[in-house]
Chain A
């Protein structure tokens, strides 16, 4: 048995207050219930406790100082709390606040919630669904994109908008709604997609429509022009003798159909555009030409 003064780290001349202070300092560090699983701490704490028992009792201290008794005190017989804390007896104290679990959000989460043996009944309720709207650009919806959105509770979420998403379509994100109670699943997040219009593309189903201005020369003589599509530019051949209103079809240049996984077409409607200023040369040519050619586009259209 070690010397109790040495165990508490105080000189023999220490006052009762010094002894108490020293004991408290050691006890805070070594108390077995604050150090579960640490056998050394428990052993040291027992020594410290026994030393303090002896030195905090003026009568025992005096007798020890006079050498009438030795340092062996009665060792603590009462069990520490930690003896029960992890067993069935401690179950009702052993809980997490709310529905925290050491294994959040995975398949173990339910296993460790509450105490063992079903001692604690938990209230289970599926979390509420939440709804959001998300505005995306025309091309983002046509080609698909992943957008990071911040939800009302500050949580961020990567939302994958699949290619071919339609205006007003609602995406369902399973389990991204309000959290469930008592281990029940979370609700879902519903995200309604709104598509911003594009300056020149429009969409009907899976087909893309675009009106393409062409010059008089391109319409009469034909030629190759650069045409934007939803996934980049392509060269489009204008046949000679094309007219305003002629529709050219580009197969497979439309939007992906989510059901059939086939892409629609791009429909290009030509619009013949005269120069802003009609120069004298053109005017003179048309005057000359019209004298010898009669052309009434209205009769063909049914105007009389």
Chain B
């Protein structure tokens, strides 16, 4: 599913200049098709998250890039960790046991 700029503005009840500001600061990076911005589900959910961080959690504009950057890193780490876990699970049991052994705290 995808949305256009005006639809996102309506859906989230925010001002269009506010949304454009978020895009200018690259907090959200929708793709563009034939000169028109196209928001996919991740863009929409991310815009909603930014609105919540601002309105509900009163994260200021200064702190927002820091928060988003840290969040992006957390998700990148979770993804990498997930991939790694799946890769390990696809290994023979002896390898899995060896890795588990290595991870045990001393």
Contact = CB atoms under 8 A, between A and B. Distances in A.
Interface of A: 23-24, 27-28, 31, 33-34, 36-37, 78-87, 89-90, 92-97, 101-103, 108, 111-112, 116
Contacts, number: 78
B48 A93 contact: no
B29 A112 contact: no
Interface in B66-82: 69, 71-82
Contact of A103 (B57, B75, B78, B80): B80
Nearest to B49: A81
Nearest to B77: A102
Q: Which of B42, B52, B72, B74 is the most central at the interface, judged by chain A CB atoms within 10 Å of its CB?
A: B42
B75 A94 contact: yes
- Could you tell me the dominant secondary structure of chain A's interface residues? loop
Given A78-B45, A95-B76, 20 more contacts: A27-B57, A31-B52, A34-B71, A36-B74, A36-B78, A37-B78, A80-B45, A80-B49, A81-B42, A83-B45, A85-B42, A85-B75, A89-B41, A89-B42, A90-B75, A94-B72, A94-B75, A94-B79, A111-B83, A112-B83
B34 interface: no
B56 A89 contact: no
Contacts of B84: 108
Given A81-B42, A89-B41, A93-B29, A36 B57 contact: no
A93 B75 contact: yes
Contacts of A37: 78
B15 interface: no
Interface in B49-96: 49, 52-53, 56-58, 69, 71-84
Contact of A81 (B29, B40, B46, B57): B46
A89 B45 CA distance: 11
B79 A93 contact: no
A98 to B, nearest CB: 12
Contacts of B57: 24, 27-28, 31
A86 B79 contact: yes
Interface residues of B, number: 28
A33 B73 CA distance: 12
A84 B45 contact: yes
A24 B49 contact: no
Nearest to B81: A102
Contacts of A112: 76, 79-80, 83
Interface in B1-49: 29, 40-42, 45-46, 48-49
A224 B57 CA distance: 90
Contacts of A31: 52-53, 57
B56 A86 contact: no
Given A80-B49, A84-B41, A33 B71 contact: yes
B51 to A, nearest CB: 11
Contacts of B58: 24
5 contacts: A31-B53, A85-B78, A94-B76, A102-B81, A103-B80
A92 B29 contact: yes
Contacts of A95: 72, 76
